[in-house]
Structure 1
Amino acid sequence: MPELEVKPTEIVSSLKQESIGLSTGDNKVSAFSLSSIKAKRELEAQQKSMVKETVQYPTEPFNETDMLLQWNKFAQKLEDKGQMILHSLMMINDPKLEGATIVHELPNEGTRIEFERLQNELLGYLRGMLHNHDVSIQLHVNESMESKRAFTPQDKFNRLNQLNPNLELLRKTFDLDI
């Protein structure tokens, strides 16, 4: 009977084929070998060369009135859900529009932190409803901010009169009381 002579290189190559690791073609490569590093680099190069499909999100123009309408609708949804604190943070004053950035002023740092919990959900809603994915929200903290809410009929009239001075002419023309 002939003796089988086994060389050490044959043992190593057979172990490499049986080991668990990265597969390159039909052969398996040990995770602890130099060829595994080469295989990893080749795999990374293949993944980088794959072209990712770029998605073009809509960027339709919108004005401040459209933004305020959607802002108020979202605030109303919060109120309907019973999230009164977040609703009041949104309604504390009217946000201003600067390009595609909504600037909202809050009275203190605590309210800013509370508002930031809501910010991602609000951004998703506004981007969808305004059909513009460039929309962003910028928060300003103004410690000296005073409430711009009108509670009495006189306050409400004065606020509306600031927005539209023709209201005073209408009041005088028809001799209306406030």
Structure 2
Amino acid sequence: MPAEAFNETDMLLQWNKFAQKMVDSGKRLMATYMQMNDPTLEGTKITLELPNQSTKEEFLAGSIELLGYLRGKLHNHDITIEVVVNETTENKYAFTPQEKFERLKQINPALDLLRKTFDLDV
């Protein structure tokens, strides 16, 4: 079996091509999982971080086709995929106007100066 060397850039290029292939074939869920985080490469082990166990299980169910694709395109049959669950990655949603303002102020602190200058309500 071939075992040619490849780098993270080559892997990411093929990873994103496969994700687009999934979108084109109507398998958007798999593509979404693939694009949640950029995978990392350590030797021939590709590591992907996902937010919870159910997402991991759904990804792994569809990853056989991905693994075959990557092994073929990168000419290396030693490639493996490991999925790590990181439940601490949590999206905090802003619902109230105050929460929205605080979130925007984190992104751009100059908004608070603007609010004070023009004596605006939040």
Matched, 1:123 2:67: yes
1:114 paired with 2:58, answer yes
* Alignment-mate amino acid for residue 58 of structure 1: P
Does the alignment pair 1:144 with 2:88?
A: yes
Q: Distance in 2 between matches of 1:119 and 1:73?
A: 14
Question: Aligned equivalents of 2:70 and 2:8: distance in 1?
Answer: 12
Which one scores higher on RCO, CA 8 angstroms, separation ≥ 6? 2
Gaps of 5+ in 1: 1-56, 148-178
Q: TM-score, structure 2 length as denominator?
A: 0.72
* SS of structure 2 residue aligned to 1:132: coil
Query: Whole-Å Cα distance in 1 between the matches of residues 79 and 21 of structure 2?
Result: 20
- Which runs of structure 2 are paired with 1:1-178 in the superposition (5 Å)? 57-146=1-90
* Cα distance in 2, alignment partners of residues 73 and 62 from structure 1: 16
Q: Deviation digits for residues 107-132 of structure 1, max 9, x if unmatched? A: 00110110011111111000000000
Change (3 A) 1:146 1:97: farther
Instruction: Please identify runs of 4+ aligned residues in structure 1 that moved more than 6 A.
Output: none
Identity of aligned residues (%): 58
Aligned-residue CA RMSD in angstroms?
1.4
The whole-number CA distance in structure 1 between the counterparts of 2:90 and 2:15 is 21
For residues 42 and 53 of structure 2, the distance between their equivalents in structure 1, rounded to whole angstroms, comes to 22
Larger radius of gyration: 1
Give 1:142's aligned amino acid. Answer: N
Q: Could you tell me how far apart the structure 2 residues matched to 1:102 and 1:139 are?
A: 8
1:124 counterpart SS class: helix
Give the superposition deviation at 1:146.
Answer: 4.6
Task: Tell me how far 1:69 sits from its aligned partner.
Answer: 0.2
How many residue pairs get matched? 92
